[in-house]
Amino acid sequence: MDNSEKKLNKNLILLLLGRGVSDIGASIQMIVMPLFIIDMGGSAATVGFYSFLSLATVLVYPFAGVLGDRWNRKTIMVGADFASAGVVLLLFLCSYLHLLNLPILLIAQILMATLNGLFDPSTKGMVPQFVERSQLTKVNSGISALRTISVLLGSAIGSMLYVNVGVTVLFLLNGTSFFLSASSEMFISYRHVEREKNEKATSLLSDLMAGIRFILHNKIIGRLCAYFLITYAFIQPIFNVVMPVFFRGSLSYSDIQYGYLQIVIIMGALLGSVIVGALFGKSVQLKKSLSIGCGLMVGILGLFTTLSSPFSIQLLGNDTAVFFVSLATALCLLSAVLMLIHIPVQTYIQTATPNEYMSRVFSIVGMITKGGMPLGALIYGLILERIAVHWAMLCTMLFVLVSSILFLKSLPKIETDI
């Protein structure tokens, strides 16, 4: 291995380390803060409003992408992690001095969501500069697996710390983790390509519109973004909207078993990431992988629709081990298959996007994915007030089937592998 390869590996390891620690910190905050707000006397509406404020990430994404293409991405990444450390350590100080209240928590949530919106496009824009084109799929699957493991660790660590040592110590450890993450990222060797002076003179809005025009003019990327919106709006809310309604309304399992299902969903995402890396680590034909992923997704939606029907519940029982294993299997496979679609799509966008547009494109993709989930949750919430879960899932399956067929037919044949 030559020096350049060692340098490349060092950069990638430091980048993955920074992302992993940041994701664990974000997961700890996500799992603990709703519990803490309730313990402070907050209501379900307060918890919902606190979670809603995470949409600040979506609002800042477009401008974060512009800044990621204008400024040094490493500087943005390191600065965002140091700032996140500062916010969390201020929460620690307020908690230690018994000054912590709901307004402070809400302000901190907005700040953390904003900083995450700055952090994410920059890190994704750096990945193609650290690895060979042929290794992008393998690296992206590794990043996805790492993020899934981080969510699992963050959930476990957050719950354990909150119960045993309290929120004050949790804030201290979490703030320290962000600080260590930023410190490690400072050692990444990254060369920022300066833009021409006449390019710098353009406004943020002009840069953003240039990124949007790039996506619209690139028919493949534009269609991939549209399909991303469909999957995030109609598939992701199945896990956090449809499942709770179905679980409480039609099944007779305990809350502990519901927790097991959540773990199964996360493990499915990890399994899908590993499969993509194993099967397509060196080369993947985009249209072929999407065809496989879309076909499997429609099939698994059909399985979930069947399981949610009154006939299946009556046949298998709403509290039996057989039904529980069947439901867990369907959710695990659905979570895994999403990775078969999302990772190759992300890899293609990275290979087809020039470096000067990279952060802007991924900020728009991030806005689509982050914004699609609450949009889909709202749609499902309205629909499930009027019709049963199995009818809603049947409509979803048919919609995704038609959308997938039209989407795959619209894609031109891509000769090059990614």
415 inside domain: no
Across 26-40, 51-65, 70-84, 300-314, least confident range: 51-65
How far apart CA 13 and CA 10 sit, in angstroms, is 5
Residues 171 and 215 in one domain: no
Residues 220 and 152 in one domain: no
Residues 337 and 361 in one domain: yes
203 inside domain: no
pLDDT category of residue 92 using cuts at 50, 70 and 90: very high
222 inside domain: yes
User: What stretch of H or E contains 346?
Assistant: helix 321-352
- Of 151, 167, 194, which marks where a domain is finished? 194
pLDDT in tens, 239-286: 877 887 888 788 888 767 877 887 888 888 888 888 877 776 555 566
Given a contact cutoff of 8 angstroms between Cβ atoms, the answer to whether 72 and 190 are in contact is: yes
User: What stretch of H or E contains 196?
Assistant: none
DSSP 240: I
329 inside domain: yes
Stated pTM of the model = 0.69
How far apart CA 361 and CA 350 sit, in angstroms, is 9
Residues 183 and 235 in one domain: no
Residues 190 and 214 in one domain: no
204 inside domain: no
Residues 234 and 108 in one domain: no
Q: What is the CATH number of the domain that holds 304?
A: 1.20.1250.20
Which domain covers residue 270, as residue numbers?
209-410
How far apart CA 181 and CA 382 sit, in angstroms, is 41
416 inside domain: no
Rounded (5°) CA angle 46-52-56: 135
pLDDT category of residue 201 using cuts at 50, 70 and 90: very low
Rounded (5°) CA angle 10-14-15: 115
C-alpha gyration radius of the chain:
22
Report the number of distinct structural domains present in the chain: 2
147 inside domain: yes
Helices (H), 219-285: 219-234, 237, 243-250, 255-280
Residues 22 and 95 in one domain: yes
pLDDT in tens, 207-222: 777 777 787 787 788 8
Residues 159 and 279 in one domain: no
Residues 339 and 215 in one domain: yes
What number of CA atoms fall less than 13 Å from residue 193's CA on the CB side? 10
200 inside domain: no
Residues 326 and 369 in one domain: yes
- Rounded average pLDDT over 63-72: 73
pLDDT category of residue 2 using cuts at 50, 70 and 90: very low
- Of 149, 170, 194, which marks where a domain is finished? 194
Residues 128 and 238 in one domain: no
Terminal-residue alpha carbon distance, the chain: 24
Given a contact cutoff of 8 angstroms between Cβ atoms, the answer to whether 290 and 283 are in contact is: no
Residues 275 and 168 in one domain: no
